[in-house]
Chain A
Amino acid sequence: MSNPNHGPDAYLREEMLPEMPPPPRETGMVKWLHENLFSGPVNAGLTVLGLLIVWFLFDHFYPWFAHSVWNASSLPECRKIIAETWGEGAGGACFAVIRERWNQYIYGFYPPGLYWRPTLVFGLLFVALAPILFSISRNIRRIVLLTAAIVTVLSLVALNTPPIWLGVAVAIFAVALLVAERRQMWLLGFSAFYPLLGVWLIWGGSFWWIIMILAGMGFGSLAFIIAGRLSPLLAGSSAIVVTLLVWVFLSGDAAKDAENLYSLAIARVDSEAIGGFLLAITIGVAGITMSLPLGIVLALARRSDMFLVSSLAVIFIEFIRGVPLITLLFVAQLLLNYFLPPGTSFDIVLRVIIMVTLFAAAYMAEVIRGGLAALPTGQYEAADALGLDYWKAQRLIVLPQALKISIPGIVSTFIGMFKDTTLVAFVGLYEPLKNISDAVRANIEWKGIYWEPFIFVGAIFFIICFSMSRYSMYLERRLQRDNR
Chain B
Amino acid sequence: MFSNFDFGVVFGSLPYLFGTGMVFTVTLTALAAGMGVVLGTLLAMARLSGVPGLKHVAKVYVELMRSLPLVLVIFWFYFLVPYIGAYLTGASRPIQVGAFSSALITFTLFEAAYFSEIMRAGIQSIPKGQTGAAYALGMTYAQTMITVVLPQAFRNMLPLLLTQTIVLFQDTSLVYVLSLTDFLGAASKVAQRDGRLVEMYLFAAVVYFAVCFSASFLVRRLQRRVAIIR
Q: Indicate, yes or no, whether A interacts with B.
A: no
B interface residue numbers (CB < 8 A to A): none
A interface residue numbers (CB < 8 A to B): none
